[in-house]
Chain A
Amino acid sequence: MSVLIVAEHLRGQVRPITLELVSAAKELGEKTAVAVIAKDPASIADQVDVEGVNEIVSVKVEQEEFENDVYLQAVEQLISDRSPDVILVGFTVNGMGYAPALAAKLGIGFASDVFALRRDGDDLVAERSFYGSKVNAEIDFPGHDRVLLMIRPTSWQPAEGDGATVEAELEADISGSRARHADFQEVASGGDVDITAADFLLSVGRGVGEKENLGQFEGLADKMGATLSVSRPLVDQGWMPNSRQVGQSGKTVKPKVYLALGISGAVQHLAGMKTSGTIIAVNTDPEAAIFNVAHYGAVADLFEIAEELEKLY
């Protein structure tokens, strides 16, 4: 039984998800190899040489940054060369690009957004959620000897330490890349606040209702000494810049206190804040997913709470 992890990196830095995959692999207690597909695999390989990794396989390619077809072909060849039982890929934008395609093409077992896994005898059992995170499910893969799992970021802690790793190489035959990286564009932040630096975040979501209600919460945040952050829908509507967004496509934050008002707790949002020190959530829906990660919760109307808070500060 062996596990193959596909490392993810951006602009020369390995992304934390890769190290989280190593921790996930540890649950299975099997030989774990990490594949580094890059133009300069060596510099990335150093960053993934951690405890829990038995082998690092370097795949040298021409492309400096992630490209779909490159990973598709490289990982296919890695699988055919090394025959792993379990392939772990991050449930990330990169992963979404090639992993499902590969799984479909190879006809292997597949599950995405997995946040827990274990062996049940010979079976691999993974856990994911359904219906907007309101229910969870245990899934397995009958009839599949090989399974590809996409792991939800921040489900495991990143692995650390030193690995006694063996190094290997694979010569991959990459025939063309049909979706080619051209450039990066930074998100214009306009000198706005860095929410990742704040100790105390007051975060609002769809519950805010109208754009002009934001003023009330900006004021409240000021009074409480908090920095205002928002969930994705408010950025989609154009009410707030992306620099204020907490979540998978925004920023990941870890303040001492995260006060969430009117946020339901979509997975992508939770991914961005659930490791915060203390999470206090206010929502009118007692079944809102945010209560699953909150330390303190109140089923209440955010405007009523906001008014009362204003009186206290």
Chain B
Amino acid sequence: MLGDEVEFTDDERDVDPDYLDFALNEWDTYATEEALRLVEAAGSGEVVVVSVGDEDAEDAMRRCLAMGADRGIRVEAEGRLDPIQVARALAEVVQSESADLVFAGVQSSDSVQAATGGALAGLLDMPSVAVVTKIELGDGKATVNRELEGGLVDVVEVDTPAVLTIQTGINEPRYATLRAIKQAEEKEIEVRPVGDLDEPASRVRKMFVPPKGEGAEMLNGGAAEVAQRIQEIVQEKLA
């Protein structure tokens, strides 16, 4: 019954790679942890990690495997894909795995698209809930908490299999020692070719450093001078 879970990581590169540090997306650590907890609580089942990208994506996947995920699948793709293309790349894999639950992070900390999970659900015509902060599994459905703006919680009953996008703070992700990460290299990561991605849903015309906020006046000097200025500003603006 309970078992297969698919969860993915996103990987993107448009800035000179020298300027980038690669890491497993923060949301995905929470998603992986949640998947592991559910499988551990059920006593049986599998956690499968899926990602779209080139070989660099495997580093992040190893982290999930080191945390305890059972195996990984990477869909080979290069370059910048928009979230819907990523979802298309994932759709075939997810379908073939017949997961009971599909987890995605709410968003990635770099691109903040917050779309891949939802798009995936749309392509596969699966029920979905976004921004989940609590999961309770039932029979053929799950009761989840959806965290709205302002902190209000919407309790939702969702039919399973379903796609859930996981929010930070849902749990405390376990630490994966580097030893475990290195040994995770023994765990299987299957590489699959990417299917038909169709037209991208959007295209980057140009990327640029945003102009600094109009007149963010920088305060210079030592800590004492800066503090002095701050006090003056506060006094002036509160008057």
User: A53 near B: Cβ within 8 Å?
Assistant: no
CA A141 to CA B208, docked complex, whole Å:
18
Stretch with Cβ within 8 A of B (4 or more), from A31-39, A44-52, A80-88, A89-97: A89-97
The 3 closest A-B pairs by CB, nearest first: A101-B122, A308-B227, A178-B127
CA A309 to CA B154, docked complex, whole Å:
42
User: B83 near A: Cβ within 8 Å?
Assistant: yes
CB distance from B214 to the nearest CB of A (A): 9
8 Å CB interface, A92-114 against B: 92-94, 96-105, 107-113
Residue in contact with B216 in the complex, picked from A105, A235, A296, CB distance below 8 Å: A296
8 Å CB interface, B119-152 against A: 119-123, 125, 127-131, 143, 145-152
The reply to whether A313 and B231 contact each other, CB–CB distance below 8 Å, is: yes
Q: B115 to chain A: which residues have CB within 8 Å?
A: 96, 99-100, 103, 110, 112, 150
> Beyond the given A10-B148, A296-B233, A312-B227, could you list 9 further A-B residue pairs with CB under 8 A, ordered by the A residue number?
A96-B165, A100-B116, A101-B122, A110-B119, A112-B83, A139-B204, A185-B153, A294-B213, A297-B219
The reply to whether A249 and B149 contact each other, CB–CB distance below 8 Å, is: yes
CB distance from A46 to the nearest CB of B (A): 23
CB distance from A102 to the nearest CB of B (A): 6
The closest CB in chain A to the CB of B168 belongs to A236
Q: B150 to chain A: which residues have CB within 8 Å?
A: 187, 249-252
The closest CB in chain A to the CB of B211 belongs to A292
The reply to whether B227 and A292 contact each other, CB–CB distance below 8 Å, is: no
Q: A28 to chain B: which residues have CB within 8 Å?
A: none
Stretch with Cβ within 8 A of B (4 or more), from A128-136, A163-171, A211-219: A128-136
CA A68 to CA B209, docked complex, whole Å:
36
The reply to whether B15 and A178 contact each other, CB–CB distance below 8 Å, is: no
Residue in contact with A93 in the complex, picked from B20, B147, B207, CB distance below 8 Å: B147
The closest CB in chain B to the CB of A97 belongs to B130
Q: B125 to chain A: which residues have CB within 8 Å?
A: 105
CA A249 to CA B146, docked complex, whole Å:
11
The reply to whether A185 and B145 contact each other, CB–CB distance below 8 Å, is: yes
CA A97 to CA B43, docked complex, whole Å:
30
| Given A235-B169, A249-B151: A131 and B15 interface contact (C-beta under 8 Å) | yes
Q: B145 to chain A: which residues have CB within 8 Å?
A: 185
User: B178 near A: Cβ within 8 Å?
Assistant: no
Stretch with Cβ within 8 A of B (4 or more), from A18-26, A54-62, A298-306: A298-306
CA A3 to CA B216, docked complex, whole Å:
35
User: A172 near B: Cβ within 8 Å?
Assistant: no
The reply to whether B204 and A224 contact each other, CB–CB distance below 8 Å, is: no
The reply to whether A298 and B204 contact each other, CB–CB distance below 8 Å, is: no
The reply to whether A296 and B217 contact each other, CB–CB distance below 8 Å, is: yes
- Report A131-156 CB contacts with B as 1/0, cut-off 8 Å: 11111111111111000001001000
| Given A112-B113, A179-B158, A298-B218: A308 and B202 interface contact (C-beta under 8 Å) | no
8 Å CB interface, A187-246 against B: 187, 199-200, 224, 232, 235-236, 242-243, 245
The reply to whether A100 and B119 contact each other, CB–CB distance below 8 Å, is: yes
